[in-house]
Amino acid sequence: MTHAERHWASVLNEARGIDAVLQSLPGEFDLNFLATARDGSGCVLKVMREGCDAAFVSLLCAAHAHVRSRDATVTVPAVVPTTAGESDGVRRALRAYCLYRRRLIAFARIR
């Protein structure tokens, strides 16, 4: 793992008790990682960009929860509640999403 992957793996473990190996994923604004736990379970960890509005993060999480509560057949990742982590003295919000059928939606083929 890179230094950044080790750092955020430590934050994830401290914040949510998830002991995982991280692998960087592409992202436009945020840091994204595939987190694979020792038991094989996984999640996608999103570290929001520095200075991201906390209300925006709350809105995103609420939108996912709302869609899941209205229609369980819609493929929307479940949000794993997280707390704020710190990097270089700057507070950054964390979000973790459960994997859907053990595949990253970003790499699923569109038919």
Number of domains observed in the structure of the chain:
1
- Residue ranges making up the domain that contains 31: 3-101
Domain-located, residue 108: no
Q: Please give the Cα distance from 44 to 32 (Å, whole number).
A: 7
Question: Is 109 contained in some domain?
Answer: no
* pTM (predicted TM-score): 0.68
Question: 75 in a domain, yes or no?
Answer: yes
Residue 106 lies in a domain: no
Do the domain assignments include residue 107? no
DSSP 38-86: TTS-EEEEEEPPTT--HHHHHHHHHHHHHHHHH-TTS--PPEE----EE
Each residue's pLDDT tens digit, 63-90: 888 888 898 787 777 776 554 444 333 4
Say which CATH number the domain at 20 has.
Answer: 3.30.200.20
Q: What is the pLDDT of residues 2-60, one digit of tens each?
A: 998 999 899 888 877 889 999 998 888 888 898 898 888 888 888 888 888 878 878 88
- Asked if the structure places residue 80 within a domain, the reply is yes
